[in-house]
A and B are shown apart, each in its own frame.
Chain A
Amino acid sequence: MRDVAIIAAGQTKFARTEWPLIDLLVEGARTAYADNRIDESLIEAVLVANMGAGMLNHQSGVASAVVDGLGLMPAHAELIENGPASGASAVKLAFLGIASGYYDVVMVVGGEKMRAVTGWESTDFVATLTHPFAEYVYGVTLPSMAALFARLYMDKYGITSEHLAMVAIKNHDNGMLNPEAHVQQPITMDGILHRPEAVVNNPIVAEPLRLFDCCPVSDGSAGIILCAAERAKEFTDKPVIIAGVGQATDTLVVHEREDPTDLKAVTLASEQAFKMAGATPADVDVAALHDAFTILEIAESEHAGLFPKGEGHKALERGDTRIGGKMPINPSGGLKARGHPVGATGIAQLVELTKQLRGDAGERQIKNAKTAYACNFGGFGNNVLAFVLKKGQ
């Protein structure tokens, strides 16, 4: 297989937008162009990641519409839907297409327009990724699923609401340094947990998860351009190498797992990615984790091997996961503050890590970042992709 490099990366500001979905996706792709203008005729394929066009936006044929919107015909165009891991899946398929030698240059763009519907409807939309008869019909939503997981995980490892709040506070602080972040609002432990006003400021959504333990519902898109590493220098002086790619699945029904607190797919996908990259979690300088709920950042950090099991919350206490800490996690603000337009998320994670490895992350730059790790968490851990990125030579 050939090595594959990221040669351009960008994202729209995640927020609520009035743009139609296709315009939003085209704009996400253009942000990658803006990052590094590639001769359009060299782009052989456009892979589009999206989860909800049919349900939320009454739109099909999305990839065809995007390639036309970009004027990239006759480039190949495909839509990839893999729930919240759609973005990472699209990148993986582009990676394979280039590594195999079939393509040289591929654009990947992912996006979602979730605010086209009410909050209730978008919550229901995401809930459709649960098992239709074993979970969904009983009223399961992703917040309630995450709450069940959080309660078990907190009891098992001695994690408190303060630890969850620490994740939120850190990621909101990081989001303040990211102009593309949806949420630009610092929060404090007093304001969201300790003061009497916290019952209103930060109400329970699904016990033990509160409002600020949950990511916002966002519109947005992100794009990257990949090419064969051997050609990367034609386009940029600062290529980023996709050194490792991993993926693993688990049971769709969470209660069928031997231990529901064991995110096996995160562990397996991460092990595969690290092995392929010839790296270990100890080599990671910066990580992008799928913190749709605060508890997931802690649990994924442990299952990916960044910290031992049951130690993630202790790392938080020490400040290890902050910018400037030993293992900075989600300097972009993560899903919690940058936002989570589901089809865009896996790509936005790589956009951030690309900026970090190039030294282009501005105020939130992690010093001397050379190796980065990303985890895009599909379903409730039933389809997970992991990447290890390295700074190109």
Chain B
Amino acid sequence: MNELEATLRPKETDQPPYPPKRVVLANGESMIVRQATRDEVPKLLETLEPLIWVERDYYDIVGVRAFAELLGWKRYRVKDEYCLVGVMDGMLVGLVNGRSLSKNIGISLHTLALRRGLRIGAHLFAAKMEHHIEYLNQKEVYVVAESPIGFRRWMIEYSLEERPHVAHELGGVMSYALTRPLYFASKDRLVVGERPVSEEMLASTEDFEIPDPELLVTQVSGKAK
């Protein structure tokens, strides 16, 4: 690495990993939630690419921003970012990402369900909050919403506190915070899953497949024609 590149790269902080968990969904199938590796980012980008044109439920803005964030992580331009993926039967069904602003403050970035109707987004957002509060041991997580669904899920279901003085890096709307007391008050009804995950189940997520782009767009847009 040359000197200029070293200057451009943020210095990463050692952070505890997210321990994988198994979540049984409404259809009885298991989703494994685990931390993605930097090497997996190209597959994630390939997954996100067709979504950047889907206006429905703001998949476009969420998709394109997540694409940029993950690319930034892969190319060493974002500090302390992580990504969690949801994998069902070897297929990628959702992803969330975030990063640490400091030792005590987490930043929630984006949540994308790639398969709908099973509350995958709700489970993955909960996993993200679990990571910040329980494993990164942070005091609070800053959150903004870009879609009405996101607003309902995060701000209302978790009773997030307003943080008008915080300029969240995703934009100028009101920032909200999930505090430790709020997280633990909501945990029983919003954060679920079993640990440990068997080696066999975890292995099934290692080389996960990504959804067919056309099928993915149909699934998330829910269009009849």
Q: Does B117 contact A (CB under 8 A)?
A: yes
User: In the bound complex, how far is the Cα of B192 from the Cα of A191, in angstroms?
Assistant: 12
- Asked if A187 and B26 make an inter-chain contact with CB atoms under 8 angstroms apart, the answer reads yes
Instruction: Indicate if the CB atoms of B24 and A200 lie closer than 8 Å.
Output: no
CA distance A14 to B192 in the complex (A): 32
Q: In whole angstroms, what is the CA distance A13 to B189 when docked? A: 34
Given A16, A212, A220, which contacts B26 in the complex, CB threshold below 8 Å? A212
Question: Complex formed: what's the CA distance from A384 to B25 in Å?
Answer: 37
- Is B195 an interface residue when CB atoms closer than 8 A count as contact? no
A190–B28 CB distance below 8 A: yes
CB-defined contacts of A13 to chain B, threshold 8 Å: 224-225
* Set of chain B residues within 8 Å of A200, measured between Cβ atoms: 119, 122-123, 126, 189-190, 192
Measured between C-beta atoms, what is the minimum distance from B222 to chain A in Å?
5
* Residue in A15, A19, A201 whose beta carbon sits within 8 Å of that of B222 in the complex: A15
| Smallest CB gap from A204: residue in B | B189
Which B residues touch A12, using CB under 8 A? 224
Chain B residues with CB under 8 Å of A201's CB are: 24-26, 118-119
Cα distance A212–B119 in the bound complex, in angstroms:
12
* A118 contact set on B, CB distance < 8 A: 148
B223 touches A15 (CB 8 A): yes
Number of A-B contacts (CB under 8 A): 69
User: Restricting to B133-160, which residues have a CB under 8 Å from any CB of A?
Assistant: 148
Assuming A200-B126, A200-B190, is B224 touching A188 (CB within 8 A)? Answer: no
Give the total of B residues in contact with A, Cβ under 8 Å: 24
**Are B27 and A197 in contact, CB atoms less than 8 angstroms apart?**
no
In the complex, A59→B188 CA distance in Å?
A: 45
| Closest chain A residue, CB of each to CB of B194 | A196
| Contacting pair A15 B123 (CB below 8 A) | no
- Complex CA distance for A211 and B217, rounded to whole angstroms: 25
Instruction: Please indicate the chain B residues that have their CB under 8 angstroms from the CB of A196 in the complex.
Output: 192
In chain A, what residue has the closest Cβ to B56? A16
Q: Which residues of A contact B223 (CB under 8 A)?
A: 15-18
Q: Residues of A contacting B118 with CB < 8 Å?
A: 185, 201
- Give Cα A291 to B23, complex, Å: 29
Q: Report chain B residues within 8 Å CB of A17.
A: 223-225
Number of interface residues of A (CB under 8 A): 29
Q: Which of A19, A195, A212 has the most CB of B within 10 A?
A: A195
Q: Is the CB of B225 within 8 A of A185?
A: no
Interface residues of A in 177-191 (CB under 8 A from B): 183, 185-188, 190-191
Check A202 for interface membership: any CB of B closer than 8 A.
yes
In the complex, how many angstroms separate the beta carbon of B137 from the nearest chain A beta carbon?
23
Q: Is B90 an interface residue (CB 8 A)?
A: no
Find out whether the CB atom of B26 lies under 8 angstroms from the CB atom of A191. yes
Chain B nearest CB, measured from A202 CB (Å): 6
Quick one: given A15-B222, A196-B192, A199-B189, are A188 and B27 in contact (CB under 8 Å)?
yes
Produce 1/0 per residue, A1-44, CB < 8 A to B: 00000000000111111110000000000000000000000000
When distances are taken between beta carbons in the complex, the residues of chain B under 8 Å from A191 are: 24-29
Q: Are A195 and B27 closer than 8 Å at their CB atoms? A: no
B211 interface contact, C-beta 8 A = no
Chain A residues with Cβ under 8 A from B225's Cβ? Answer: 13, 17, 19
CB-CB nearest in chain A for B188:
A199
Query: Is B119's CB under 8 angstroms from A190's CB?
Result: no
B26 touches A188 (CB 8 A): yes
Cβ contacts A200-236/B at 8 Å (1 or 0 each)? 1111000000001000000110000000000000000
Contacts of B193-225 to chain A: CB distance below 8 A:
193, 222-225
Would you give 6 A-B contacts (Cβ < 8 Å), ordered by A?
Answer: A118-B148, A187-B27, A195-B24, A197-B23, A199-B192, A200-B119
Known A15-B222, A190-B28, A195-B24; further 6 A-B contacts with Cβ < 8 A? A17-B224, A190-B24, A197-B24, A199-B189, A200-B122, A203-B189
Q: Which 4 A-B pairs have the closest CB atoms?
A: A188-B28, A201-B26, A191-B26, A15-B224
